[in-house]
Amino acid sequence: MKQKIILDTDPGIDDAMAIAYAIAHPGIDLLALTTIFGNVRTGEATRNALALLDHWGSDADVAEGEFTPIAIPGHEPSYLVHGRNGLGGIDIPPSRRSKHALGAVDYIIEASKRHPGEIILCAVGPVTNLARLLERDSGIVSRLKAVIVMGGAVHRQGNVTPMAEANFWNDPHAADQVLGAHWPLVLAPLDCTMPVVFTPDYMQALARQSPAFGGPLAAMAEFYAGFYRSHLGISGCVPHDVMALSWLTVPGAFRLQKGALAVLTEGPAIGQTLFQPGGTRSRARCFDGRPDHLVMVDTDPGIFMADYMTVISGHTR
């Protein structure tokens, strides 16, 4: 039985790596992309989502999401990391399709009623749409099979500030609400993404194995890797967003912890992820009434990268 996935995304080069994986994986039924700001503006994310789906032969829907964070002014998109068009300057032909008539939140609500208990919502950008979803339909927490969020940094430094990871920094109030909700949530923070580096050799191998999928990804990765080289001294790039899907397909690649989560919504550490291990008590009131969630705290790069190569290579056209 294929896993029904809705991917909430701000494409974005590592988002494109995740979208390719979702389309290529035989065990995934990609129902839709819902778009959000972050790496680009929401309208640009919608444009990129439609173009990537068309380019890779997917008829998944695209439902456009929120344009601004729920409680702070929006930040300038991270064009420095993903390029002015969000795809490393690589020219993917524009789609002839239009976005769905429903907005992202209404689309997810409608789909969850059509497939109660079956849909896995994977969020790989700021979680504004998910916070609006909780506001609009409290029953959603029992109609989704799982919610997997790429975001935050638990036992590691952030990547936008020393304290905050980009997705949570872009909408900290939404992140705090999403992590405090009583739904089956798994968090994929920088702890599980940073151990994996797609080197230039790895990307070229992907391009050889699958010109249609690996070719554009390798071209995009050249821009993305330029940021990692100049800012982090890393030779390659990190496929953050793919982890939100790989938890479903190769769970053995990950080490887990369980505990309560919160996100700072003000002050110099705004966007910082707060974590209290399961079964422990403390004087910190911010975890009161919050459920324990699974957190992916480490990754076996060998297992993860072998799987990604196998899945993408399976699409040789």
Q: Which of 3, 12, 17, 213 binds ligand RIB (CB under 6 A)?
A: 12
Q: Is 1 helix (H, G, I), strand (E, B) or coil?
A: coil
Position 44 contacts ligand RIB (CB under 6 A): no
Encoded one letter per residue, x for contact with ligand RIB by CB under 6 A and - for no contact, window 231-270 reads ---------xx-----------------------------
Q: Which of 8, 66, 165, 307 binds ligand RIB (CB under 6 A)?
A: 165
**Residue partners of 233: CB distance under 8 A and separation at least 6:** none
Of 150, 135, 19, 44, residue with least CA distance to 94 = 44
Residue 173 Cβ vs ligand RIB, minimum distance, rounded to whole Å: 17
Residue 4: contacted member of Ca ion, ligand RIB, none (CB under 5 to 8 Å, by partner type): none
Position 15 contacts Ca ion (CB under 5 A): yes
Of 153, 130, 170, residue with least CA distance to 261 = 153
**Which structure tokens are listed for 301?**
């790069």
Q: Which of 25, 240, 293, 315 is catalytic?
A: 240
**Residue partners of 280: CB distance under 8 A and separation at least 6:** 259
**Which structure tokens are listed for 244?**
């939100």
Could you tell me the end-to-end alpha-carbon distance of the chain, in angstroms, rounded to an integer?
25
Q: Is 165 helix (H, G, I), strand (E, B) or coil?
A: coil
41-49, 85-93, 161-169, 173-181 -> range binding ligand RIB (CB under 6 A):
161-169
- Residues 13-32 interacting with ligand RIB (rule: CB under 6 A): 14-15
Position 34 contacts ligand RIB (CB under 6 A): no
Give me the numbers of helices (H) and strands (E) for the chain, helices first please: 12, 9
**Which structure tokens are listed for 133?**
């979803």
7-15, 54-62, 66-74, 267-275 -> range binding Ca ion (CB under 5 A):
7-15
Position 125 contacts Ca ion (CB under 5 A): yes
Residue 244 Cβ vs ligand RIB, minimum distance, rounded to whole Å: 9
Angle, helix 128-136 to helix 172-180, in steps of 10 degrees: 50
Active-site residue 100, yes or no? no
Residue 242: contacted member of ligand RIB, Ca ion, none (CB under 5 to 8 Å, by partner type): none
Q: What's the order of all strands across the beta sheet hosting 28-35? A: 61-64, 28-35, 3-9, 119-123, 146-150, 185-188, 292-299, 254-263, 273-277
Query: Which residues does residue 29 pair with via DSSP β-bridges, in sequence order?
Result: 4
Q: Which of 3, 34, 39, 272 binds ligand RIB (CB under 6 A)?
A: 39
Position 125 contacts ligand RIB (CB under 6 A): yes
Active-site residue 240, yes or no? yes
8-16, 98-106, 133-141, 300-308 -> range binding ligand RIB (CB under 6 A):
8-16
Rounded Cα–Cα distance for residues 15 and 224 (Å): 12
Position 148 contacts ligand RIB (CB under 6 A): no
Is the separation of the CB atoms in 210 and 266 below 8 Å?
Answer: no
Residue 48: contacted member of ligand RIB, Ca ion, none (CB under 5 to 8 Å, by partner type): none
DSSP string, 155-179: SS--SSSSSB-HHHHHSHHHHHHHH
**Cβ nearer to ligand RIB, comparing 39 with 246:** 39
Q: Which residues bind ligand RIB (CB under 6 A)?
A: 10, 12, 14-15, 38-39, 124-125, 150, 159, 165-167, 240-241
What is the set of active-site residues? 10, 240
Q: Which residues bind Ca ion (CB under 5 A)?
A: 10, 12, 15, 124-125, 241
